[in-house]
Amino acid sequence: MKAKLLWASGITLLLLIPALSWAQGIPMVNVSGSGKDTQYSLSLQLLALMTTLTLLPSLLLMMTSFVRIIIVMSILRQALGTGQTPPNNVLVGISLFLTFFIMSPVLTDVYQKAVTPYMQNSLNFDKAIAAAEIPIRGFMVKQTREEDIGLFMQMARKSDVASAETVPFTTLVPAFITSELKSAFTIGFLIYIPFVVIDLIVASVLMSLGMMMLSPMMISMPFKLMLFVLVDGWSLIMSSLAASFVT
pLDDT tens, residue by residue, 87-112: 888 888 888 889 888 888 888 888 88
Predicted local distance difference test score (pLDDT) of residue 22: 41
pLDDT tens, residue by residue, 173-192: 888 889 999 999 999 899 88
Average pLDDT taken over every residue of the chain: 76
178 CB neighbour count, 10 Å cutoff:
17
Would the pTM of this model clear 0.85, i.e. be above it? no
Give the mean pLDDT of 80-93. 84
Q: Quick one: what percent of the chain has pLDDT higher than 90?
A: 4
pLDDT tens, residue by residue, 127-166: 887 888 888 888 888 888 888 888 888 887 777 666 666 7
Q: Domain spans of the chain?
A: 38-185
pLDDT above 50: residue 203: yes
